[in-house]
Amino acid sequence: MRSFKSLILILILSFSSLSLEASKIEVKVGMYIIPPFYSRIDQDASGILVDLIKYLNENQKKFQFKIVETSPRRRYRDLENGIYDIIFFENSIWGWSNRNIKLNETKVFATGKDYYIAKKDPRLKNQQVMFANLSEKVILLKSGFHYGFLKFKSYDVKDKNLIYTNSLEGNIKNILRGKGDITVINDSFLKMYLKRHPKDKDKLVVSEKIDQVHNFKVLARPNSPISIDEIEKLFPLLKNSTYLREVLHLK
């Protein structure tokens, strides 16, 4: 009898949860592969955005956020065509303004930084001199990304010393193998990489100078089911999570 009552209770709670989820307004969130914000192995997605979306879905009752995968190059067209409604960890200066895409953007909700990374050279007394003249270096970059030293151009700049790839981790590995001089890595990814590969810490040099400061915003299409005001009202929620407050550098 007790087992039967327990089963009924579980079913009631399950239906209540499904009913609550169904009553929420669905908001499609665009994201592309960019660790540590979003990664996917087969069907298993993980990363800061996945955790952020899960947290928002569990801690407010009006919206149900759902991730829709796009790509660095396709993300512009997909937002314009309504494939997704909003995108986190963006800024209109990263190719959006140049394309004259109609969108709305929030205030800055999180920050990050890009640093130059090189392999340590034991012959150098001052390792930072490696970053003094970038024009003389072979630099590995992530295709579709925007870089401060390239004036945030919205395309892959053609130059014999610039090599574009599809992997941030691969760029670091190739720097260590001597297949390039410098790469540019965001602080969140670098922290994750060194946690996975602690032995590489003493092999790498991180620049003192910064390529760019990321002022992360949320961009939304004009007819998004969630308004900019409604998105910004959710920002204080993120600070209630110790994990999100730490990884997003929230104050």
pLDDT of residue 17: 47
Identify the band that residue 3 occupies on the pLDDT scale cut at 50, 70 and 90.
Answer: low
More confident residue, 154 or 102: 102
Provide the β-strand partners of residue 117: 183, 206
pLDDT higher than threshold 80 for residue 13: no
Provide the β-strand partners of residue 119: 204
pLDDT higher than threshold 80 for residue 129: yes
Identify the band that residue 245 occupies on the pLDDT scale cut at 50, 70 and 90.
Answer: confident
pLDDT average, residue stretch 47-63: 95
pLDDT tens-digit map of 196-223: 999 999 999 999 999 999 999 999 999 9
pLDDT of residue 183: 97
